[in-house]
A and B are shown apart, each in its own frame.
Chain A
Amino acid sequence: MDRRQFLAAKRTNPAPAPPPEQSRTQSGLNPYSGPWTRNEVQHLLKRTLFGSTRADIAYFLGRTVDQAVNELLNPTAPLPSPPINDYSPATPDPAVAAGATWVNNPTNDGTLNSQRRNSFKKWWAGQMINQDRSIREKITLFWSDHFGTETTTINFSHYVYWHHAMLRQNCLGNFKQLIKSVTLDAGMLRYLNGYLNTASAPDENYARELQELFTLGKGPTVLYTEDDVRKAAKVLTGWRINNTTYAVFFDATRHDSTSKQFSSYYGGTTIAGQTGANGALETDDLINMLFAKDEVSKYICRCLYRWFVYYKIDAAAETNVIEPLAAIFRTNNFEIKPVLSALLKSEHFFDVLNQGCLIKSPVDNVVSSLREFGVVFPNTTTEYADAYGMWNYIRNWFTNMGQDIGDPPDVSGWPAYYQEPQFHEMWINSDTLPKRNQFTDIMITNGYTRNGKKIVINAVAFTQSLPNPSDPNLLLDDALAILYRVPISATAKQTIKEQILLSNQTQDYYWTNAWNAYIVNPADTASFNIVNTRLKSLYQYLMNLSEYQLS
């Protein structure tokens, strides 16, 4: 859906009572030098990865804050191999064998493109589920939200994948380069009609979003004019996509070679019209002009802040965090890593007031629970059809909960990241919250069975991975130290322990005996069932509490 239409149709901001003044912090970008315990590690991991597994927490506990953030920002795993044909033989593909990748064999066939777009989304879900110990997956999702393309609009599956691969490749690189790559990306040229933008019939779609959504944002200090949108559109005329080779190229005959003068907001800059192949260089001039505005660095830093810290940016956060962060961004010529590094190592990031306040997105909610409980999926290579099938099930849950990856509602991305004043709270409503509970209920009870394979949370195996499963108090503490950010009172823990793990007894040794009986004789059904029933109830209960929705 076109964003203009969408906004016109649906801009009905809920207007709840103004939130009470929050006890927000004055802390800024000074490097954090406080304690480095499970709590801080877990905070860092929940924000940069999907969930904090026990193994990951242990791994980063053995490092310093600096080392941990550096490792998270410097993925060592190679970029993943591309999605494959998981749809044949049901849907025959004349060019691509089952199990082989389709991304280098573009097609015009509508059915195949639909199947391949699905294949791409399943694969993407799989990448997140199988993520490495780096920020790559979360920041890739961030950029896909930032640029907000929709696979159904791009339609051609190869453009969809190439666009995604470009984001993934540049996700921790240079933002200015990323903007240039996005501008000349076939998927984006299709998505915002750039390939139809010609001297005789300019199309302003991309020129507008480039400024309003991708670089400058909106706000009282962002004063570009409608005329600037038109001028930028003229600058960008002439980019096309070859129908045979699918390559992006510059067609000088379609380029508007007149000079373009911009408003006083851009200092009255004139981008000199160029002819022939040099017309393409005007795009660089335009990007340089945009990046000369400080609003670009501030806007992107705010977007990153909302994604990784919290959605509320008060005056103190603007002064103490956003502005210095934006300066770092500019000083480093728009390299992304120095910004994330300064933010994630800062006192502000580790401030207790910024912990546990992020409402998990649907993807975060689902993938975190799968990863933290170590749900085992079919082998990606040897059982790829099963793996894709399971990923598809998971991907459908993202969609059910309101986050259809690859297809946000429009070019603005998901409203949770821009819609004032609710922001992240928009993820949680009377429709999506029960679905979150339903998903975790299914995963902890019967799981999902497909083609003889099953994905399910193994409550006993998870418990066995904890350091002290025979002690019900430590068991609960250790599980919460993985699953929860919100602290639970001793009273609540006592109640949960007694009512679930002790079946209303008061003596801890009843659990200890039951657990030890299982360990001594794991093949005994009765012993297994005794611990399994109680553990399933425990984790189901913990995942149903509202606390579980926060990271």
Chain B
Amino acid sequence: MGEVEKFFDRIISTDLLIVGSEGAGGHAAIEAHSHGTDVLIVTKGKIGQCGASQMAGVDFNVDGKTAKILGFDGDDRDSPERFFEDLVREGLYLNNQKMVEKYVEYAPKAMKDLMDWGMRIYGYDSVHTEEMARGITSAGTLWVAAIRKKVKELKIPMLEDTMLIDLLVSDGRIAGAVALSIKSGETVLIKCKAIILATGGWHRAYSFNTGSYDLSGDGIGVAYRAGVELISMEMVQFCPITMVWPPKDRGSIALYVLSCIDPFDKYIQLVNNKGERFMEEYDPINLEKSTKEIVSIASELEVENGRGGPHGGIFLSLKHLRTKFIDAIIRIANNRIKNELKDTRYEFITLIPELLEKCKTEDIEVGNAAHYMGGGIKVNENTETTIPGLFAAGECSGGLWGAVRVASACTEVGVQGIIAGGVAPKYVKKVEQAEINKNQVKEILDRINKPLMRDEGITPNELTKKIHEISGQKVGLIKEGILLKEAIGELEKIINNDLENLCITSTKSKELNDEWIKAIELRNILTCLYLSAKSSLIREESRGEFYRRDYTNTDHDNWLKTIVMKQKNGELDIKFEKPVVTKISLPKGKLTYQEAIGVATASLKRE
């Protein structure tokens, strides 16, 4: 056994390591396997039962013309070109247009793969856009089940319940990774030529979020530590009408989904604690059907001004309807969900009817939860990062969406999974396994073991509470320079002191030690949140999902540029890059925030 190997409980060699097993990672693994590549999947949970994909609504996008070729009704008025234009316009021109082109080009293949693997489809619908039918609907659980079935059928090797700890980089390229088995506490050395990161978002930086428990920005954190460039970290999407209360339903977007579907969208009203339908003040024309951004900001302003509910939300109300009418709505919902779609998901077959029933006598407290991370690891249209041998696909990557994600993230992850699963095998064939740096390995293992060895310090639970206070109060939906500055100062203190002083005292067992896993995750969560706050302070404008109270214009003249960050010699290095343009040239001028997102009728001032 070599010098490096002796530090580990387990050693595995593969050509291509894929971290993540769901919409992006699973799809990438199947694609890479089809190129004859030796693949290993490392996933934090069990395939088909972890990450964000399982929880998706779910819809996929294919332009209306190509959808016809796939056998759907489609829409003759549509075309790939038109879809491309919509995506760039909706992203407010901050998108990498080469990535958008690939999204449109590969969307049908991503869809066809899933159909070939037996994913049941609900229908073809007008999703995300009023004008054009582009959405193929299904369920997140059906999606991940199809991927799981295919991965198992192909017998692709997998390490489940295993967490990525760090990347190993030698001579500026990928040499492997260090991982940890959550169940056994065993350390794993994975020697490989290339890695595809498909680790999803960093929802856990926010106490109120719509993601699963495992989304702690691990891929973004490890990439940053390895000196990889990140992009658009300030772009965080918050989902309105997310359940705030009671605790059991907290984080569910079931009512938001319902509020987007005809005919339910006609009846849902949002009210404040005085029972006022507050959207009348903010967007009297579109009301609750205004954009996600406007509804979110309006809700937040109501809460800020003391008109919110006891748990920090506003209310969804059906009190304007008669009980018999609500009964009819429940019947329609049940009929569609249970009988037509044969959906089996708890949120849809149990929670929605329960909540509608409750609406007969009371309003439901809902609010804005951290939902989708628009920024992440900077990649090009081929999913290549700035380190040779490192690729990123899905939500952990950044650049595709620009300043707003309207279209389907489920299509994004499949598209990028396919691209990464095609490009990485070619890279693997060209290179030899790089030598692993012993000092780097030692440093990583020492670092993760330290909290277990300390008997005094701050516990992961205490630190998590501190971080959630900062993210909730200062790096939330409505941003403001003064608060961002405070957050940055506080997060710097935490990173320099608390993070290096974490201690685990309740048990020193390495098996299923939640505190230990949290301690490791916190480093990644803090990296993401800190960089997001920094990036938010730098962007002195408002654009799409990014709203600064102190800079409310969308400023095409000065801010049609992305913020790119990386670690260089232990310091944060920041630069600006113009978005990659292929077909649509960047506009000029200054618009109000509302004009830029196409709801010029909305006013975000009240009080």
User: Do the two chains belong together in a single complex?
Assistant: no
Listed in ascending order, the chain B residues whose CB lies under 8 Å from chain A are none
